[in-house]
Amino acid sequence: MTTSTLPMLENYPQAISLDRIQLAATIDILDDCAEACTACADACLSEPDVAALVRCIRTNLDCADVCATTARVLSRHTGYDATIGRAMLQACVIACSACAHECGLHAEMHEHCGICADACRSCEQACRDLLAAMD
């Protein structure tokens, strides 16, 4: 689907110090990663080998929350203070990296873990790229 993220940013009424296209793409990736992690935690819960997946589920839940909050912070530009956005991006890199690793361990057994690992890796990279652009 075409999201509202870029049109909303293009109509933000004041200056934004970051490139709006890169920012919108990053927010979309964060929202997608949050969704994938929520779905992966639930899919893992329904697997017969759930006992082997508890660490994966936990990391999924953390990563979903961290990505969702990062997306919200990056969606706000009023009274811009780069320090909070930067700190959330750093936390998100760590959460996505941990979740990509955990899901990656189960990707051959469980296709949903493979899809989620890919979403986490894309998100980690997008967050790193935005952090680099903020410097």
The residues of the shown chain that bind its own copies, judged by CB under 8 A, are 1, 3-5, 7-9, 11-14, 25, 27-29, 31-36, 38-43, 45-47, 50-51, 54-59, 61-62, 65-66, 68-69, 71-73, 75-79, 81, 83-84, 87-88, 90-91, 94-95, 98, 102, 110-112, 115-116, 118-119
**Measured from the CB atom, is 38 or 130 closer to its own copies?**
38
CB 12 within 8 A of CB 108: no
Amino acid identity, residue 81? D
**Measured from the CB atom, is 55 or 133 closer to its own copies?**
55
Cβ-Cβ contacts under 8 Å for 71 (sequence gap 6 or more): 27, 30, 31, 34
Closest approach, Cβ 126 to its own copies, in A, equals 11
Closest approach, Cβ 107 to its own copies, in A, equals 11
Distance CA 7, CA 3 (A): 8
Of 106, 93, 90, 89, the residue nearest 55 (C-alpha): 106
**Measured from the CB atom, is 4 or 22 closer to its own copies?**
4
Of 102, 95, 94, 31, the residue nearest 68 (C-alpha): 31
